[in-house]
Amino acid sequence: MQKLSTLMEKLGRHFQQGGRYERWYSLYEAVDSFLFGSNTRTVGAPHVRDGLDLKRIMSTVLVALIPCVVMALWNTGHLANTALATLGLATPEGWRGSVMALIGCDPASHLSNLVHGALYFLPIYLVTMVVGSFWEAIFTLVRGHEFSEAFLVTGLLFALTLPPTIPMWQVALGISFGVIFAKEVFGGVGRNFMNPALASRAFLFFAYPAQITGDQVWSAVDGVSGATPLGQLAAAQPGQIMQSLDWSWSQAFIGTIPGSMGETSTLACLLGAAVLLATGIASWRVMLAMTLGALACALWFWLTADGINPLREIPPHWHLVLGGFAFGLVFMATDPVSSAHTATGQWLYGLLIGILAIMIRVANPAFPEGVMLAILLGNVFAPLLDFFVIEANVKRRRLRHG
């Protein structure tokens, strides 16, 4: 690494102001910062001394996402292998079959499940990173900004929120929308008012609903399809809603159910939450408030079930393990840029998202996955909540000091 560092320092002279490749400094800095960290320092007082910088924050979030990535690979592969076993097939069709022929498609084999899941996840992730990095590079060159490590997190979050069989061109289109219209048009990292990964997912949800929702989305193998648990519950008969599910609460908690690749496991999300809370990256107020808001709203719907809407009959504790609630709670709602920043604002922000998530999920069966929309609405209201909290504090101090 020392030799590589020396080489980068020598090359850096050509990219500095007045150098031969001055206009390409942003690309050089992106590679150098990714490998060795940023040399940028503040020059004006006051200074806040802290061991965390943007690179360390992003690295910590990536570490927290590891359990979700592992579960995404294993569960996607497990569902695909199980579907193949149901059809009595040895391997899937196409190029995936050539790879899986080497190790087999045994649902009982963890290695087989991980490899098979990777064959779905990695192409999506690679397309996300290549296309997203392209747009990031374009904007850094035009503006002369540094290339931020934040996109490593955005790209991984976006890939984890997608179904395994989504067309690659839609992946490219979705991440392009999020990077350009949810972040760069507002000035780049730290200036976006909503989560770029979630905005990308929402764009695909409304632009191409057939590839994002419905019974056919989770078909990893031709000839086998099935709805997600929320889809099954929305189609159930009133009074028999929980009997219609093919999975238990513990299976939903662990994540061995169909769904977006990285969002099915509440357990994996909780492991990530432990990392973010222990390092102080995420706000415990937002997480707790969102959970309490969701439980309160779900309890009200459950107690006032009308025998018409089957989703009102879902017990409150089930809402916590269905859909993308846990993933949104841990990694999306706590985004330090787009969430509220005052302590009181974080409580209000979390409660708003939790209540809206369940309200959208239950009251509008057309959108059974209400977490995404709730968080985006919360992002919009976060600055307003902080504004009123600050104004209330200022008014209270004025009255106190006459």
Between CA 126 and CA 135, with CA 129 as vertex, the angle to 5 degrees is 140
Residue type, 350: G
Q: Do the beta carbons of residue 230 and residue 322 sit within 8 Å?
A: yes
CA neighbours within 13 Å on the CB side: how many for 144? Answer: 6
SS3 string, 301-367, reads HHHCCCCCCHHHHCCHHHHCCCCCHHHHHHHHCCCCCCCCCCHHHHHHHHHHHHHHHHHHHHHCCCC
Query: Which regions of the chain are under pLDDT 70?
Result: 1-5, 8, 12, 22-55, 147, 211, 213-227, 365, 368, 402
pTM: 0.86
199, 203, 205, 207 alpha-carbon torsion, rounded to 10°: 180
Predicted confidence (pLDDT) per residue in 255-299, tens digit: 999 888 999 999 999 999 999 999 999 999 999 999 999 999 999
Q: What is the pLDDT of residue 3?
A: 67
Q: Do the beta carbons of residue 330 and residue 371 sit within 8 Å?
A: no
Q: What is the pLDDT of residue 33?
A: 61
> What distance in Å separates the CA atoms of residue 214 and residue 114, rounded to the nearest whole number?
25
65's CB contacts (< 8 A; 6+ apart) are 153, 156, 157, 160, 262, 272, 331
Q: Do the beta carbons of residue 255 and residue 320 sit within 8 Å?
A: no
Predicted confidence (pLDDT) per residue in 203-237, tens digit: 998 888 776 765 555 555 554 556 678 877 877 88
Q: What is the pLDDT of residue 47?
A: 47
Q: Which tokens sit at 382?
A: 């976060």
